[in-house]
């Protein structure tokens, strides 16, 4: 619960924009989409646990029968993937909530082999991104099957 309150604080604390913030909206969107591509690349190379490194230290992932709290646990969660083929993130929109906070909605398609048959797990996601000294990190990852 503390994590969710912190996330809401970040969102509402950054709702006012200066002109320079508005000018940087496109830059922020491009930076986040670049992180999406880096995540896909690590996954496609089989570096599944590296996906956990794209989360903030106190991040949370919530989905269908899934709740993972904390970066170390997220690294472990992603490290359990096996037989995956590829991952494609499709952006619906990125809403910049402030200079250091953004909300991304999109679709995720993970292709994997099950009994030598290629299948695809499809979901819709919402990500709350925060800008840290290490770049953009996910603070909240919510997904649902589609």
pLDDT per residue as tens digits for the range 20-77:
544 555 899 999 999 999 999 999 999 999 999 999 999 999 999 999 999 999 999 9
Q: Which residues contact 32 (CB under 8 A, 6 or more apart)?
A: 94, 102, 104, 129, 136
pLDDT of residue 17: 42
Q: How many domains does the chain have?
A: 1
Whether residue 49 contacts residue 76, with contact meaning beta carbons closer than 8 Å, is answered with yes
Structure tokens of 21?
């913030």
pLDDT surpassing 90 at residue 11: no
Q: How do residues 31-47 score in pLDDT, each as one tens digit?
A: 999 999 999 999 999 99
Domain that holds residue 20: 2-145
Query: Greater confidence, 24 or 136?
Result: 136
CATH of the domain at 141: 3.10.450.50
Provide the token pair at 57: 């230290």
Report CA Rg, the chain: 15
**49 phi and psi angles, rounded to 5 deg:** -65, -25
- What confidence score (pLDDT) does residue 86 get? 95
The predicted pLDDT at position 26 comes to 86
Calculate what percentage of the chain has a pLDDT beyond 90: 75
pLDDT of residue 8: 42
pLDDT at position 3 is 53
Q: Is the pLDDT of residue 16 over 50?
A: no
pLDDT digits (tens, 9 = 90+) for 78-106: 999 888 889 999 999 999 999 999 999 99
- The average pLDDT across 117-145 equals 97
As beta bridge partners, residue 86 has 111
DSSP per residue, 68-125: EESHHHHHHHHHT--SEEEEEEEEEEEEEEETTEEEEEEEEEEEEEETTEEEEEEEEE
Q: Would you call 50 helix, strand, or coil by DSSP?
A: helix
- How many Å apart are CA 139 and CA 55, to the nearest integer? 6
DSSP-assigned beta bridge partners for residue 144:
124
pLDDT at 33: 97
Give pLDDT, residue 84: 87
């Amino acid at each position: 619960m503390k994590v969710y309150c912190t996330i809401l604080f970040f969102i509402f604390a950054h709702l006012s924009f200066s002109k320079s913030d508005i000018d940087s909206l496109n830059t922020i969107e491009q930076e986040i989409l670049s992180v999406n591509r880096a995540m896909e690349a690590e996954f496609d190379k089989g570096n599944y646990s590296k996906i956990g490194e794209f989360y903030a230290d106190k991040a949370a992932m919530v989905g269908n029968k899934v709740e993972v709290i904390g970066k170390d646990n997220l690294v472990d969660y992603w490290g359990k993937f096996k037989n995956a083929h590829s991952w494609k993130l499709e952006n619906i929109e990125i809403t910049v909530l402030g200079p250091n906070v953004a909300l991304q909605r999109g679709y995720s398609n993970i292709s994997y082999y099950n009994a030598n048959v290629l299948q695809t797990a499809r979901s819709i996601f919402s990500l709350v991104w925060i800008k840290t000294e290490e770049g953009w990190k996910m603070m909240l990852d919510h997904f649902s099957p589609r």
